[in-house]
Chains A and B, each alone.
Chain A
Amino acid sequence: MRLIPLFLAALIVSLAQPVSAQDWTRFTSIEDGFSANYPGQPKVETITYTTEYRQQLPGRVYSASDSLGRYSTTVIDYRNIEKLHVDRAAKCRAAQGDGDSCQNDFRLDLAGATDHAVWNFMKRDGVKITHYMYYFVELVSGRLLQMTNADNTRTFAAIHQHAGRLYIHQATVASGMPEPILFMQGLGWADEKGLAIRYRTIYTEGYGEWKFPHETPPFTVRDLNTSIDGTIPPKK
C-alpha cells in the first residue's frame, strides 16, 4: 500500500520529463562537409568501409544518444576511389587476370554507392521496410528508408552522395517512441567556412546541373553482331 504514493510520484516525475533531456545543438564538421543536430557533442570514431566492389575506404562515424534513441552520421570518403580501382585493375592485368576480374569498376562503385548502402539496411535479418523513397536535402539527391527492425525498434536512414563522400544519416528509437524526425531532418551540407550549402537545382553525384528533359550525355552506337568493344567498327 505504501508503494502506491511512491509509484504515483514516480509516474508524475516521468510524465514531467521532456522526451529528450539533453540539449540538442547544431554540430558542423567542415572536414567532412556536413552539419546536423545531435543531443550534445557527438562522439567521432574512425572506421573502414567496404564498398560494393570490395574497396576499403576511410570513414568517420559521428554518434550520440539520448533517452529516446541512437543517432549517427557515417561519412565515407570516396574521393580516392578512381585511383584505387585503376591500381587494382593494373595489378590484376600484371598478374595475367582475365577481362572480367581486371575490369576497372570505378564508375560502378561510385554510381552505386547509395544503392549499396541501402542494400545494407534492406538485408538486415527481420527488418520490415515501411517506407522507401527518393529523397533530397538542400536538393542533394538521396534515398530515405523507414523501417521496423526485428526487435520492433524503428530506424530511419537517409543516404546521400555529395562532393565525393557517402553520407549515411540514421536514427533508431525504441518501440512506441515518437519517430526520430528531429535528428533526421537536421542534415545539411557545409562549405569550407562551415556555411550551409543550398543548391538551386537537384544535385546528383557525377552529373552536372539537373535538367528535365536533359541533354543527352556523350554516347556511341554499335551493331552488336559485329562489334565487341562498344564502338562503331571502322568502315572497310
Chain B
Amino acid sequence: MRFKLFAVAFACVSCLTASARAHHSHGNYDVETWTVMEGTVKQVIFIVPHSIVYLDVKSEKGDTATWSLEATNPQGIFLKGVKKEDVQVGDKIKVRCHLLRDGGHGCLLGFVTPMHGDKARGHGIEIEWD
C-alpha cells in the first residue's frame, strides 16, 4: 500500500514538473485537444532530440497535404516497444496529436496506430510516440 501511495505521489510530482523538463516549449500547440488523423507515411526521421513523421493526409475537400508530426527522441519511441520496421514509408497509420495553434500543417504526437494490416508490425495497436 505504501508503495502504491509513493507511486501515485511520484506520478503527481512528475506531472507538475513535466513542462519544466520538456526539451522545448509546447505553447504553440493546442495540447488540450486531441486531433485524430489518418494518412500515409511519407517519411520517418529518427533523430535527436525529436523524431519526425511526415504524413500525407487527405482533407475533406479531397486534396492531400503533408503534415509534420513531432515525436519524442528515438530512444523514447523504441523503449515503448516500437521497432523501426513497424512504421514504414507507404504505410497507413492513424495518429492522435495536438495541432499547431496557428493552423499550420504541424502536430505534436501523441499516439500512433499502424493500420497497414501486418500484425507482426503492430497493426491496430496504439503506442505512445511522445
Contact = CB atoms under 8 A, between A and B. Distances in A.
B20 interface: yes
B48 interface: yes
A19 B70 CA distance: 15
Contact of B102 (A131, A139, A201): A131
A70 to B, nearest CB: 16
Interface stretch (A77-85, A111-119, A173-181, A214-222): A173-181
Nearest to B20: A139
15 contacts: A18-B43, A19-B42, A19-B43, A24-B47, A133-B25, A134-B25, A135-B24, A137-B24, A138-B24, A144-B27, A179-B100, A179-B105, A182-B68, A186-B50, A188-B49
Given A18-B42, A24-B47, A179 B104 contact: yes
Given A136-B24, A138-B23, A138-B24, 7 more contacts: A20-B45, A24-B45, A24-B47, A130-B103, A181-B106, A182-B45, A185-B70
B24 A185 contact: yes
Given A177-B66, A185-B23, A26 B28 contact: no
B101 A181 contact: no
A68 to B, nearest CB: 9
Given A139-B20, A182-B52, A134 B106 contact: no
Interface of A: 16, 18-20, 24, 26, 37, 130-131, 133-139, 144, 146, 154, 176-182, 185-188, 201
Contacts of B24: 135-138, 185, 187
B89 interface: yes
Nearest to B55: A178
A22 to B, nearest CB: 10
A177 B54 CA distance: 10
A188 B67 CA distance: 24
B101 to A, nearest CB: 6
B65 interface: yes
Contacts of A136: 24-25
Nearest to B51: A182
Interface in B24-50: 24-25, 27-28, 42-43, 45, 47-50
A20 B103 CA distance: 22
A198 B67 CA distance: 29
B104 A185 contact: no
B59 to A, nearest CB: 12
B67 A178 contact: yes
Given A178-B54, A185-B24, A18 B89 contact: yes
B117 to A, nearest CB: 20
Contacts of B42: 18-19
